[in-house]
Amino acid sequence: MKSEQPRIAVIGCGAVTKWRHLPALAKLGVTPVLLVDPDMDRARGLAEAFRVPGVAADYRPHLGEFDAAIIASPHHLHAPVSIDLLGRGVHVLLEKPMAMTAAECDQVMAAAEAGGSVLAVGLMRRYFWAARWLKAALGAGALGPIESFDVREGFIYEWPVASSFFFRKETAGGGVLFDLGAHTLDLLLWWLGDVAEFEYYDDSYGGVEADCKLRLTMASGARGTVELSRTRNLRNTAVLRGPRGEIEIGLDRNYLRADPAGLLSYKKDEVRANVLPEDVLKELNEMFVLQAEDWLRAIREGVPPQVPGAEAKRSIGLIGACYANRRRWELPWVHTGGRGQAREAGLRLEAVKS
């Protein structure tokens, strides 16, 4: 396989496949051999648009016809499908979240090891030039030891989903924390290391949460807040502060601001703060191209992907711990029990060990 282009199946033909994965493969000059989705009309439509020769409602009758697979199915299917394929020697690019639980992540990684397969996880924000620059700058001590951080990411939800699985806990795994938070927390853990203590609040009344807040103390001693929302447009940046100043970075685009501005003069190899693209749509599409390119390189050359399973598991473990220790976040605009406006639960609580 190291010198050959793998035959690729794409499992799941929803919005991320239509708008991100298939265009990324096309830009690389790669055409999948098979699209898989229970909605055959959807699969056929995409197959026609991207000139894919095969479609199926189920990948299992077609085992042996592909060497690698992009898994972009509903969240609850990520682990079982990837475990099956990885164990058979099929290389997998697995959409985030990697699995529903940390234990499932372990099973996915074990299957990859048993099958000798490449497992890459679709945490494509690590390919943003700004994210890579910040990782290198922090490693070089540009800010000194990080003392505090403030992360706000949210938007009024408008992703063009192809099904309702995002809004059902049994298929989505959770709400904004599990979906958007898989990206946001992955970046935070990548930049700052492990979490020592946390408090977690969300607005769930039994379904998936739309708003949540974390108060975190990192193992390094840095303290900060992460706020995520599907109901409000937030600033969508992270601000990190140290004794030498602060850096603000875009979470969904290549954006950097520093105080003092001279902090942006740091550069290492090709990662520089002054070469960042500005077109947000092009940036997002390019991240999927870089992600697919990295996965294919790992398959051909036998090198580790940039986002292996062990890295993706870290955010899943934190998310699981948050759900297990959740506190109700009674937002000011929420009314409960006929008692009038609820007050925000901004009380200081005893930190829960992660």
**What are the residue boundaries of the structural domains of the chain, listed by start?**
8-125+288-308, 129-277+314-353
CA distance 197 to 345: 19
* Mean pLDDT, residues 164-191 taken together: 85
CATH class of domain segment(s) 129-277+314-353: alpha beta
Could you tell me where the DSSP H helices lie in 231-305? 280-301
Burial grade of 222 (CB within 10 A; 0-12, 13-18, 19 or more)? buried
Q: Taking CA 285 as the corner, what is the angle to CA 281 and CA 288, rounded to the nearest 5 degrees? A: 150
- pLDDT value of residue 235: 96
Each residue's pLDDT tens digit, 277-336: 655 556 778 899 999 999 999 999 999 999 999 999 999 999 999 999 999 987 776 655
Classify domain 8-125+288-308 at the CATH topology level: Rossmann fold (3.40.50)
pLDDT given at position 278: 57
pTM, rounded to two decimals: 0.88
Query: Token digits for 310?
Result: 């062990």
Judged against a pLDDT cut of 70, whether residue 221 lies above it is answered with yes
pLDDT band at 205 (very low <50, low <70, confident <90, very high): confident
Q: Region 178-183: what's the mean pLDDT?
A: 94
Q: What residues contact 347, with CB distance under 8 A and at least 6 apart?
A: none
Answer for the pair 172, 230: CB distance below 8 angstroms, yes or no.
Answer: no
* Mean pLDDT to the nearest integer, 148-164: 80
**pLDDT single digits (tens) 33-65:** 999 999 999 999 999 999 999 999 999 999 999
Is the confidence at residue 354, as pLDDT, over 60? no
Res. 124: pLDDT tops 70: yes
- Strands (DSSP E) contained in 235-319 are 237-242, 245-250, 256-259, 267-268, 271-272
Token readout for 298 is 């790992």
- Rounded to whole angstroms, the Cα distance separating 102 from 229 reads 23
pLDDT confidence of 272, banded at 50, 70, 90? confident
Tell me: pLDDT of 166 over 50. yes
- At 118 the three-state DSSP class reads coil
